[in-house]
Amino acid sequence: MTLTRPLAALSLVAASALVLAGCSSTSGAEANADGDAETTPFTFEYNTAGEDEEPAYEEVTVDVPLAPENVVIFDMASLDTWGALGGEVQGAPLDSVPDYLQGYLADDAINAGSLFEADLLEVEAAQPDLIIVGGRSAALYEDLSEIAPTVDLSSSGSFEDTLERNVTFLGEVLGAEDEAATALETLEAGIAEAREVTAGIGTGLSVMVSGDSVSALKPSEGDYSGRNLRGGIVYDVFGVEPVISDIEEATHGEPVSFEFLLETDPDYLFVTDRNAATGEEGAEAAEVVLDNEIVHETTAWQNDQIVYLDPMAWYIVFGGIDTTQIMIDDILSIGA
């Protein structure tokens, strides 16, 4: 299995990417002609295609104000990082902010809508200096950009590449470059420690429980779009050896049977409970779904090697500073 490069090894690559993307350092920030607050340019790829069309990306550059005081964030990973670096969030989809990130919201934070639909009137009335979208909320970019400078911090490559780009960029915007660098160093060390643990556990299978169905997740294999990025983190970032070489071919990308879990029989099962993450009404917890006679026969069950991952961190947020530490801790729990 090809090992993920450590974050430290990515620093020069990421730095180059930031320069090429126009994400300049604070020293390169510019004040506009009217003498307003300094800004720094940020360039990203925006998908201009419709929902049922093939993706069509257009390069967009936005002049982002430095040290903005009024920020509305729709992307939970960005909200995580913004708060972890000392920023306060004035608006967000409040119903989607997990408990462990609530402390990063201003006391009078507005409810900006949902991850998929913005309350444009509420956002406009708040007069934000900056709006941040990403992932599920990326489709909101066009409408929100008419209200205030808006950036899309969706995945731009591997988990580590995107994490480093976004933490570095948001650190620059906040004037917290040193804090951002320290956070990345800490997460790098944590990921390396977690990979040392997984190197000795044998094989693993990452699964998602949705409703009463179980889906086997696969390594991203260089395709970092959406579900592939999230589903592959156990393997790509934390070094777990997949129990079979081609999970996608074996499953055809469909939910799998409990018999599949027994036939492949990984040493460890890593479980993301989508039911818990989304609060699906009437859905049973993953522990209940997997508590059956067939799963009881697996090596993972018999050796108490089923790892239930934090559902908010692994399914909803994934990619922020605090959340990445939660993910590291989930993997480290194996060796506890």
pLDDT digits (tens, 9 = 90+) for 68-113: 999 999 999 999 999 999 999 999 999 999 999 999 999 999 999 9
pLDDT at 250: 85
How large is the average pLDDT for residues 327-333?
97
pLDDT at 36: 62
Is the predicted pLDDT of residue 146 greater than 60, yes or no? Answer: yes
For 62-71, 120-129, 224-233, 238-247, which range has the lowest pLDDT when averaged over its residues? 224-233
Higher pLDDT, 263 or 136: 263
At 54, the pLDDT band (50, 70, 90 cuts) reads: confident
The share of the chain scoring above pLDDT 70, in percent, equals: 87
Q: Do 176 and 95 fall within a single domain?
A: yes
At 283, the pLDDT band (50, 70, 90 cuts) reads: confident
Q: Do 122 and 207 fall within a single domain?
A: no
Give the count of domains, the chain. Answer: 2
In a domain, 208, yes or no: yes
In a domain, 189, yes or no: no
pLDDT at 11: 38
CATH number at residue 261: 3.40.50.1980
Domain that holds residue 11: 7-184
Q: What is the tens place of the pLDDT at every residue in 14-44?
A: 333 333 343 333 334 454 445 567 999 999 9
- Residues for the chain: how many in total? 336
Q: Do 261 and 151 fall within a single domain?
A: no
Q: Do 12 and 140 fall within a single domain?
A: yes
Q: Do 329 and 212 fall within a single domain?
A: yes
In a domain, 324, yes or no: yes
